A and B are shown apart, each in its own frame.
Chain A
Amino acid sequence: MIDIEKIRSDFPILARTVHGKPLVYLDNAATTQKPQPVLDQILRFYTDCNSNIHRGVHHLSGAASRDFEAARETVGGFINAQRAAEIIFTPGTTAGINLVAQSFGHAFLNPGDEIIITEMEHHSNWVPWHMACERAGAHLKVLPFNDDGMLLTDNLPALITGKTKLIALSYVSNAIGVVNPVRQVVEMAHARNVPVLIDGAQAVQHLPVDVQALDCDFFVFSGHKMYAETGIGVLYGKENWLASMPTYQCGGGMMDAVAPGKILFADPPLKFEAGTPNISGVLSLKAAIGYITEIGLANIAAYEQGLLHYTVEKLEGLEGVVCYAKASEKCNAVSFNVDGLSSYDVGLMLDKMGIAIRSGKHCAEPVMKHYGINGTVRASLALYNTDAEIDRMIEALERILTLMR
Chain B
Amino acid sequence: MNPINQIQDKVVQEMAGLEDWMAKYEFLVGLGKRKAAIPERFKADENAISGCQSNVWVHAAMNGKRMHFEAESDSVITSGILVLVLRVLNDQTPADIAAADLYFLEETGLSDELSPSRAQGLAAIIQRMRAAAVEAKNSRVR
The reply to whether B29 and A342 contact each other, CB–CB distance below 8 Å, is no
Q: Which residues of B contact A241 (CB under 8 A)?
A: none
Q: Which residues of B contact A360 (CB under 8 A)?
A: 53
Taken together as a complex, chains A and B put the C-alpha atoms of A345 and B33 apart, in Å, by: 13
- Render A335-375 as a binary contact track against B, CB cut-off 8 A, 1 for contact: 00000111011001101100000011000000000000011
The reply to whether A344 and B118 contact each other, CB–CB distance below 8 Å, is yes
How many residues belonging to A are interface residues under a CB distance threshold of 8 Å? 17
Taken together as a complex, chains A and B put the C-alpha atoms of A375 and B29 apart, in Å, by: 19
With A360-B53, A374-B55, A404-B29 as known contacts, state yes or no: A345 contacts B76, CB within 8 Å: yes
Interface SS majority for chain B? helix
The reply to whether B76 and A340 contact each other, CB–CB distance below 8 Å, is yes
Q: Which residues of A contact B74 (CB under 8 A)?
A: 342, 374
A263 on interface, CB distance cutoff 8 Å = no
Q: Which residues of A contact B26 (CB under 8 A)?
A: 403
With A351-B115, A374-B74, A403-B29 as known contacts, state yes or no: A344 contacts B54, CB within 8 Å: yes
Q: Which residues of B contact A345 (CB under 8 A)?
A: 29, 54, 75-78
Which of A340, A341, A348 is packed against the most chain B CB atoms within 10 Å?
A348
What residue in chain A is nearest B30 (Cβ atoms)? A403
With A344-B118, A345-B77, A403-B29 as known contacts, state yes or no: A352 contacts B21, CB within 8 Å: yes
Complex partner residue of B54 from A342, A349, A351, CB under 8 angstroms: A342
The reply to whether B77 and A352 contact each other, CB–CB distance below 8 Å, is no
B25 on interface, CB distance cutoff 8 Å = yes
What residue in chain B is nearest A399 (Cβ atoms)? B22
Q: Which residues of A contact B115 (CB under 8 A)?
A: 348, 351
Taken together as a complex, chains A and B put the C-alpha atoms of A258 and B33 apart, in Å, by: 69
Closest chain A CB from B34 CB (angstroms): 13
- Render A289-320 as a binary contact track against B, CB cut-off 8 A, 1 for contact: 00000000000000000000000000000000
What residue in chain A is nearest B32 (Cβ atoms)? A345
What residue in chain A is nearest B25 (Cβ atoms)? A349
Taken together as a complex, chains A and B put the C-alpha atoms of A352 and B21 apart, in Å, by: 7
Taken together as a complex, chains A and B put the C-alpha atoms of A403 and B26 apart, in Å, by: 6
The reply to whether A348 and B118 contact each other, CB–CB distance below 8 Å, is yes
What residue in chain A is nearest B24 (Cβ atoms)? A352
With A360-B53, A403-B26, A404-B29 as known contacts, state yes or no: A344 contacts B75, CB within 8 Å: yes
With A351-B115, A352-B22 as known contacts, state yes or no: A341 contacts B55, CB within 8 Å: no
Taken together as a complex, chains A and B put the C-alpha atoms of A152 and B113 apart, in Å, by: 44
Q: Which residues of B contact A352 (CB under 8 A)?
A: 21-22, 25, 113
With A360-B53, A374-B55, A403-B26 as known contacts, state yes or no: A342 contacts B76, CB within 8 Å: yes
Q: Which residues of B contact A374 (CB under 8 A)?
A: 54-55, 74
The reply to whether A341 and B54 contact each other, CB–CB distance below 8 Å, is no
Which of A342, A345, A399, A403 is packed against the most chain B CB atoms within 10 Å?
A345
Taken together as a complex, chains A and B put the C-alpha atoms of A344 and B53 apart, in Å, by: 7
What residue in chain A is nearest B117 (Cβ atoms)? A344
What is B's interface to A at a CB cutoff of 8 Å? 21-22, 25-26, 29, 33, 53-55, 74-78, 113-115, 118
19 new A-B contacts, CB < 8 A, other than A360-B53, A403-B25, A404-B29, are A19-B21, A340-B33, A340-B76, A341-B75, A342-B76, A344-B53, A344-B54, A344-B75, A344-B77, A344-B78, A344-B118, A345-B54, A345-B76, A345-B77, A345-B78, A348-B77, A399-B22, A403-B22, A403-B29
Closest 9 A-B residue pairs measured CB to CB?
A342-B75, A352-B21, A345-B77, A342-B54, A344-B53, A344-B54, A345-B75, A344-B75, A342-B74
List 18 interface pairs A-B (beta carbons < 8 Å), by A numbering: A340-B33, A342-B54, A344-B53, A344-B77, A344-B78, A344-B118, A345-B29, A345-B75, A345-B76, A345-B77, A348-B115, A349-B25, A352-B21, A352-B22, A360-B53, A374-B55, A404-B29, A404-B33
